[in-house]
């Protein structure tokens, strides 16, 4: 027994009652007026737009054509009525050139200690996933214990003096 998405239409191809592609079934379902389809369209707010006969220039980090099925991060701009420009993000280059603004002196489970460019240090709290075993109160207790341990470590030469 076959499931029918649209009661007016039979599942499978119309000629041979063969199976259809999942993408075809989903697109048919999402174009219908069912409550699920209309809710999906309102939630996603996807507006397909096809631009016929346009000039597209791609500025990429690798020479040559883009391999089939690959994705690029970047931005596309519309320069004129029939011209678009895509510029690929240089994410790998940025990661190598970025210097951490306030580096960690200490990375703990509940707190981190950072150092400003002028040499002063300050604590920050980690963001835990609270659950039945780790409540907010328990997190505060454990962070206080870790702060106490770090403070005694700094007294022995890890950063500041007493």
- pLDDT digits 0-9 by tens, 38-88: 777 777 666 777 888 888 888 888 888 888 888 888 888 888 888 888 888
Query: Across the strands, what pairs with 124?
Result: 112
Read off the pLDDT band of 139 (50, 70, 90).
very high
Read off the pLDDT band of 136 (50, 70, 90).
very high
pLDDT of residue 161: 44
Q: Are residues 140 and 126 in the same domain?
A: yes
Q: pLDDT at residue 140 above 90?
A: yes
pLDDT of residue 90: 62
Q: Are residues 30 and 57 in the same domain?
A: no
In the 8-state DSSP scheme, what is residue 100? Answer: P
Read off the pLDDT band of 11 (50, 70, 90).
low
Number of domains in the chain: 3
Domain limits for position 33 = 1-48
Q: Are residues 40 and 55 in the same domain?
A: no
From edge to edge, which strands make up the β-sheet containing 55-59? 55-59, 83-88, 74-80
Q: Are residues 108 and 147 in the same domain?
A: yes
pLDDT of residue 70: 83
Read off the pLDDT band of 137 (50, 70, 90).
very high
Q: Are residues 31 and 59 in the same domain?
A: no
Q: Are residues 42 and 3 in the same domain?
A: yes
Cβ atoms of 157 and 151 closer than 8 Å = no
Q: Are residues 36 and 82 in the same domain?
A: no
Domain ends where: 64, 83, 98?
A: 98
pTM: 0.37
Element (H, E) at 145: helix 136-153
pLDDT of residue 95: 54
């Amino acid at each position: 027994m076959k499931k029918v998405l649209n009661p007016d239409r039979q599942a499978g191809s119309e000629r041979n009652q063969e199976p259809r592609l999942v993408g075809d079934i989903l697109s048919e379902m999402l174009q219908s007026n069912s409550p699920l389809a209309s809710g999906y369209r309102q939630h996603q707010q996807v507006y397909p737009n096809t631009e016929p006969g346009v000039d597209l220039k791609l500025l990429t980090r690798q020479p040559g054509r883009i391999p089939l099925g690959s994705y690029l991060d970047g931005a596309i701009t519309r320069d004129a009525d029939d011209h678009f420009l895509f510029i690929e993000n240089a994410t790998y280059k940025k990661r190598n050139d970025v210097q951490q603004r306030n580096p960690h002196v200490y990375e703990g489970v509940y707190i981190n200690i950072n150092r400003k460019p002028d040499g002063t240090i300050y604590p920050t709290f980690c963001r835990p996933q609270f659950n039945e075993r780790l409540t907010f109160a328990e997190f505060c207790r454990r962070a206080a214990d870790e702060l106490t341990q770090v403070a005694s470590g700094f007294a022995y030469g890890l950063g500041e003096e007493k």
